[in-house]
Amino acid sequence: MKFNSCRGKVTGLPFEEAIFMGLASDGGMLLPDTIPKVTMDTLKEWSSLSYVEIVKKILHLFVTEEDGISQKDTDILIDKAFQGFRHPDVTHLTHLKNDLNILEMFHGPTMSFKDYAMKCLAQFFGYFLERRKKHVTALIATSGDTGSSALEAARGLKWVDVVVMLPKGRISHIQELQMTTVIEDNAHVFCADGTSDDLDDVLTPIYRDKACAQANSLCSMNSINWIRIMVQTAHYFYIYLQMCPLCDNTVEVVVPTGGCGNITAGYIAKLMGLPVDLVSAVNVNDVMHRTVHAGDLSMAKEVIPSLAPSMDIQNPYNIQRILYLLSGRNAGLVDSIMTEFEKESKVQIPADLHQKLQKVIVSSFSVDDSGIKATMKRCWEENQYLVCPHTAVAVAYHYDTLDRVSSQKNPLRVCIATASPAKFPEAVTAAGLTPQPTEAITALESMPTRYIELKKDRDWEEIIRGKIKEITSKHN
């Protein structure tokens, strides 16, 4: 497969080059030129496979020997990626009262769903960079979980340095510690006095500076990177086959949504032939709810801090991938839409494109902090099961539909649990519940920390560019 930017000016990239590119120089994100299909017969053959086996099957469809890696080596990388996950099945589908089904995607090292694709990405990085004997620097603006997952995945990687910017005081204390306690030489953490969108505004022009990106071998480990999306596609196949092993129905998947990487993967799974309907669930930062409901892709005046900080985002950047695929790969249209959004902080999605969006993301839902707290408490009281505030956003949708249409039979539905509640003791306490810290979480409090603080009066972009040059000179 070859890879093209959603905005049309970067095309024909091979797999190996694509995975080491961050944001393309035209501001676009990369997608393969074809999406493979999975027939119903094949889907039925996969019905008894484990999660890890499904990941391998999906990757074999996208990555072939022509891409510079054999299926055998791909399988070895995937097995290495999931070593050390705390659940024997790597992930687990929990069935609770009132038809509430939750896919636990928090059994990795940082207790976030990001670990699943991130660990795979790190393995691919290590494989190709060892062969190249080349160093890269990954730039990450995190809204909470991506930074810690990337830092953890990059531990021990000889050829990768990771620069992370986090919004200090706008994520949970545990999320911050999971980053600031990583003190390996290849980890560089910046705590900035701003929102995650502010941090994106710093890194985007650096990525789009073609000379800088090439001279310093810049890459991405967030959901800009295609491997993250590709691996996350497997989540949906696993969900479907767990809920519907006979492959005779449609499954609705409720996705806590921030930057739209996970729901983009769900759409790709649907394009591959998987019978799933997608629901986007957001907190009070409701840009995706407004986009799905009314075609209104617009930023609010400010990001509102919430109990679900990883979703405190006003720029759902993967939306361009969704629009590109919905439009039949009309890069000119996507470039026009995204250029207006970047310039005006708002754009109205064309009516025909919006109608197509609503057929893929069949519903959206926004819930504020009071709703998050009420959902966490209800789930505990009904099931003695604690959910994190982000997962609660998805569960709130389930409870809302349950209460509104109780006379109707609910569809087969799964809510994705994006993180462990142990990472968010503040939210658990706010819900009137008792935090349940793990040994690993408790240990963070006594570990040494290292980070650089970025105050508002500093030129953040200049500081990050300086760090990038310092890393490059060290490895030349």
- The sign of the dihedral angle between the CA atoms of 452, 455, 458, 459 is positive
Point out the catalytic residue in the list 114, 119, 270, 373: 114
**Nearest partner of 167 among 325, 303, 288, judged by Cα:** 303
Instruction: Report how far apart, in Å, the C-alpha atoms of 266 and of each of 118, 136, 260, 392, 417 are.
Output: 17, 29, 10, 19, 15
For the record, the structure tokens of 386 come out as 């604690």
Q: How many residues does the chain have?
A: 476
**Nearest partner of 109 among 150, 51, 168, judged by Cα:** 150
Q: Is 359 exposed, middle or buried (0-12, 13-18, 19+ CB in 10 A)?
A: exposed
Q: Which residues pair with 296 in a beta bridge?
A: 348
If one counts every other C-beta atom within 10 angstroms of the C-beta of residue 465, the result is 17
Are the beta carbons of 142 and 196 closer than 8 angstroms? yes
If one counts every other C-beta atom within 10 angstroms of the C-beta of residue 325, the result is 21
The CB-side HSE value for 368 (13 A sphere, CA atoms) comes to 2
| Per-position DSSP letters for 298-331, written without gaps between them | E--SSPPP-SSGGG--S--TTHHHHHHHHTTS-H
**Helices 287-294, 351-360: inter-axial angle, 10-degree rounding:** 110
- The sign of the dihedral angle between the CA atoms of 171, 172, 173, 174 is negative
Distance (Å, whole) CA 398 – CA 295: 23
| Per-position DSSP letters for 28-66, written without gaps between them | --EEES------HHHHHHTTT--HHHHHHHHHHHH--GG
For the record, the structure tokens of 450 come out as 């290292």
| Amino acid in the structure at residue 34 | T
| Active site annotation includes 423 | no
Alpha helices in 312-459 (DSSP H): 319-326, 331-344, 351-360, 369-383, 389-404, 425-430, 439-444
Catalytic residues: 114
